[in-house]
Amino acid sequence: MRIIPAIDIIEGKCVRLSKGDYDTKKIYNESPLEVAKAYEAHGIEFLHLVDLDGAKSKHIVNHKVLETIATQTSLKIDFGGGLKSDKDLRIAFESGASQITGGSIAVKSPETFESWILNYGSEKIILGADVKGTHIATNGWLETSDQTLFDFVKDYHAKGIDFVICTDISKDGMLEGPAFELYQNLLSQVKVKLIASGGISAFEELPQLQELGCEGVIIGKAIYENRISLKQLENFILG
């Protein structure tokens, strides 16, 4: 199972929100690069980088942060937040993203998102399935669509999607544990490479997610709040 720490960016700084609410913003570090280098030093190979300014303004904003981390570390970065056009996507890949995550775009403009899967391939494009209850949320989680998680993922899996990041918004940033049941249900219905996200609060949850069949896990606040140490993650990766 891939260990994927998260760096969320607002105004070039490393922040975390609770339940996606911008009013709960807490700055953890002025330098995302410093944070990324600390991850790399502990044997971590992957990074989930989210452009929260981009998610709000509906176009890529913090691509310079992406470029800085991509050129100064060897981390494989999946980048999301505000990717709405072919131009946004091009900028993200040119700035060093290994993969991109599309969430709102997959709901609001399926033709565009499907063209990305065709043009870039399923290894490069991750489906972002953010859920409120069982419905897909969009636009930085400010809106809820009428699509259910299971139908949404099944539909895109049929169109070639392999990787899915699923975030239970009610758990995100709350340090109360991930949505085990939701992930179990999803994996029993569709065979995707599922990346768990939201609510990770303790190291013990990682083997449990691995057991469920998750391909990766995104960890954010639990690292910043010292609930999970980088040393623990290093040991987990080394197996």
* Average pLDDT in the chain: 95
The CA distance from 215 to 210, in Å, is: 7
Q: Please, which pLDDT band fits residue 114 given cuts at 50, 70 and 90?
A: very high
Q: Tokens at residue 179, please?
A: 């949505």
Known catalytic residues? 8, 130
Can you point out the beta strands (E) in the chain?
2-10, 13-18, 21-29, 46-51, 76-80, 99-102, 125-132, 135-138, 143-148, 163-168, 193-197, 216-219
Task: Say what the pTM is.
Answer: 0.95
CATH for 9:
3.20.20.70
The residue range of the domain holding 71 is: 2-238
SS3 state at 216: strand
Residues 135-145 have a mean pLDDT of 81
Q: How many domains does the chain have?
A: 1
Query: What confidence score (pLDDT) does residue 138 get?
Result: 84
